[in-house]
Amino acid sequence: MKRRTLGATGMSVSELSLGAMMFGAMGNRDHDDAVRVIHRALDAGVNVIDTADVYSQGECEEIVAKAIKGRRDDLVIATKFGLPMGEDPNRRGGSRRWIFRAVEDSLRRLDVDHIDLYQMHRPDHETDVAETLSALTDLVRAGKIRAFGSSMFPAELVVEAQWAAQRTGSHRFLTEQSMYSVFTRRPEGAVFPTAQRHGLGVLTFSPLNGGWLSGRADLTTGHRASSRPSHYDPTTPTGKLKTAALAELAALADEAGLTLPQLAIAFARSHPAVTSVLIGPRTADQLDGLLPGADVDLTDDILDRIDAIVPPGVDLNPEDNYAATPPALQDARLRRR
């Protein structure tokens, strides 16, 4: 599998990364089977495993620990912090207090002495980003993490964090992780160009749009549809948009001699800002259907035809990018005197 350099981190990463969210209570509960899936991905040339403390409340990190024994030095281990790990408001976010606790918990669950890439899972609008950067910088200096990045940050917060690092003399975010697929193209407008200007490595996730681009005949019976049935309802306004686009994309994939998932993964890989695309299989069969997307390079003609089906910078369902709505739009009290 081809490699790319992850921004200014200097780390060489595979063009496909293994997103581990589906291992544990949130997906595949069989630890031994999940380990086999991870090993299958590593044997195919994947060298990045991306997890998070919040995935199955730590269980996912424990599964990853089992899978990487004896192979850790060959891998780039990435995890995330920031989403709630309990009811206590102090067990979330980007405060120094929580970051120092969260990293120790992740190191223990992963059974490693350092984390290669530590990512802030979502923006924390209650904490000064300078506080977060200062804490993360201290973790780099202590050898507990090698680099750190953001996830689902809008362009203005990416810039604010870069400015804060320069102003305070802290280390800076070196990566950004964004949701990106044929159906969720919003990052193309501002996040990707901003990441390129600041030399950030970009990891993207959900290239199949949560299963919409999986090629399954009935999306309403999928694993994720059980928790968000309205999201996969083809009769809603956004469901109709996706269903119509899906038919055109499936025809295009067939014409190109590809499966729909291969087309979707190749599309995400094709953007020049993207360093690596996270795939998130639950089973070995799903993994086997996704890996060939690493070897597909789409022609300009195919990319132009995808643009005609879903215009650049457009999310067919704005609710897909669930972290993109800032508090100022969610809470009316912040808009009124």
CA distance 180 to 29: 27
Strands (E), 26-155: 48-50, 76-81, 115-120, 145-151
For β-strands 3-5 and 12-14, DSSP reports them as antiparallel
118 is catalytic: no
CB atoms inside a 10 Å sphere around CB 265:
28
Distance between start and end Cα atoms, the chain: 56
CA distance 133 to 174: 11
Check 55, 118, 180, 232 and give the catalytic one: 55
CA distance 186 to 178: 10
Burial class of 243 by CB neighbour count within 10 A (0 to 12, 13 to 18, 19+): middle
Nearest CA among 316, 211, 320, 221 for reference residue 260: 211
Are 28 and 55 in contact by the 8 Å Cβ rule? The answer is: no
Show which residues are catalytic: 55
